[in-house]
């Protein structure tokens, strides 16, 4: 009886750790996408609802590269590069022609424009003859499992976690240890004063959109690698979950976006593993509601005062 009890405990621990690893993988993707939301909001106070569809464009860029080069390490590397380049260029165009002309307009105008850009990207991909509305299987490399004591980790999970970690560390270095990063922090703190101090505000805002969308492009390839089926509407739910993660961590806070994505991913995976996949979305949004009731600024957010 004692051995049976020990075996049951070992089985529970193994399953729990497995779910944690799966949650960390999913949460890493949410965190990458959430960083784009929180960086843009931190500087221009804009919720860029088109961000999830920028991620979708990155997934399609990766798809076409993998179709040409094959699902190999060089092919996957090319897919990441193509996705990040395309999403970066797309972000510059969107910021320059959709958001910059409305920067001094009421925030509602920018919000409506963001929704319009989202719909344009979705429907553009639906009508393009080489894309179309139908789902497509995303090419993936052969999956190998590595067993560490009581857990098993697939190559796909390792790619997602390691790539996400590297990109987030690189972002942290850019923001905290480069001249551009210092300028981004200054513009986020006070846009008008930064302009008076000689900072090119337009360039810094464009760079912020660029970096956030590069991360979204990488997130699109990672998401399609983990869930290998893509379609023009695929960016909606991950984009919405990433927005929830950004608010959960504290919108405008880069560490908050990272933490919020990880928490949301783990909560969603544990719900699917121990309750039901039907409750996953409800639990995710329920956590957000509870956090906002307890701490409206999010986990890492700070209270701000507005002069009227």
In-domain check, residue 308 = no
Number of domains in the chain: 1
* CA distances in angstroms from 251 to 7, 153, 246, 297, listed in the order given: 44, 32, 5, 8
In-domain check, residue 53 = yes
The mean per-residue pLDDT over the stretch 273-280 comes to 85
In-domain check, residue 306 = no
Q: Give the tens place of pLDDT for each residue, 295-306.
A: 888 888 766 654
Radius of gyration of the chain (CA): 20
Count of alpha carbons within 13 angstroms of residue 97, beta-carbon side = 8
| Most confident region among 41-50, 102-111, 122-131 by mean pLDDT | 122-131
- What pLDDT is recorded for position 10? 62
- What pLDDT is recorded for position 4? 42
Query: Where is pLDDT greater, at 99 or 290?
Result: 99
* Residues 212-237 as b or e (16 or more Cβ within 10 Å = b): bbbbbbbbbbbbbbbeeebbbebbbe
In-domain check, residue 61 = yes
In-domain check, residue 302 = no
Q: Give the tens place of pLDDT for each residue, 162-201.
A: 999 999 999 999 999 999 999 999 998 888 899 888 999 9
**Any idea what the CATH number is for the domain that residue 21 is in?**
1.10.3470
In-domain check, residue 285 = yes
- What pLDDT is recorded for position 139? 94
Q: Give the tens place of pLDDT for each residue, 4-42.
A: 444 555 667 788 888 999 999 999 999 999 999 999 998
In-domain check, residue 307 = no
Contacts of 257 (CB under 8 A, 6+ apart): 31, 34, 35, 37, 38, 245, 246, 249
DSSP letter string, 204-266: HHHHHHHHHHHHHHHHHHHHHHHS-EE-TTTTHHHHHHHHHHHHHH-TT-HHHHHHHHHHHHH
- What pLDDT is recorded for position 3? 41
What is the residue range of 280's domain?
Answer: 13-294
In-domain check, residue 192 = yes
Window from 3-7, 68-72, 77-81, 112-116 with minimum mean pLDDT: 3-7
């Amino acid at each position: 009886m004692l051995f049976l009890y020990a075996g049951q405990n070992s089985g529970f621990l193994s399953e729990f750790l497995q779910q944690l690893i799966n949650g960390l993988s999913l949460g890493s993707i949410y965190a990458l996408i959430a960083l784009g939301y929180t960086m843009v909001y931190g500087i221009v106070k804009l919720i860029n609802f088109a961000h999830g569809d920028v991620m979708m464009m990155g997934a399609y860029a990766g798809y076409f590269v993998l179709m040409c080069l094959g699902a190999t390490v060089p092919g996957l590397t090319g897919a990441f590069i193509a996705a990040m380049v395309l999403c970066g260029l797309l972000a510059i165009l969107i910021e320059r022609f959709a958001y910059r002309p409305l920067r001094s307009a009421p925030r509602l105008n920018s919000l409506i424009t963001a929704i319009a850009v989202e719909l344009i990207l979705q429907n553009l991909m639906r009508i393009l003859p080489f894309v179309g509305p139908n789902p497509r299987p995303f090419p993936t490399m052969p999956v190998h499992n590595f067993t560490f004591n009581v857990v098993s980790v697939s190559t796909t999970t390792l790619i997602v976690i390691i790539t996400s970690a590297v990109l987030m560390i690189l972002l942290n270095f850019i923001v905290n240890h480069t001249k551009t990063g210092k300028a981004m922090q200054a513009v986020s703190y006070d846009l008008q004063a930064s302009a008076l101090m000689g900072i090119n505000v337009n360039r810094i805002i464009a760079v912020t959109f660029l970096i956030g969308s590069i991360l979204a492009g990488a997130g699109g390839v990672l998401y399609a690698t983990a869930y290998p089926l893509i379609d023009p509407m695929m960016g909606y739910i991950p984009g919405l979950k990433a927005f929830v993660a950004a608010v959960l961590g504290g919108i405008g806070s880069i560490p908050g976006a990272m933490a919020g994505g990880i928490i949301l991913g783990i909560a969603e995976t544990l719900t699917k593993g121990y309750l039901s996949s039907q409750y996953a979305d409800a639990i995710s949004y329920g956590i957000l509601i509870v956090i906002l009731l307890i701490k409206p600024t999010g986990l890492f957010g700070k209270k701000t005062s507005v002069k009227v």
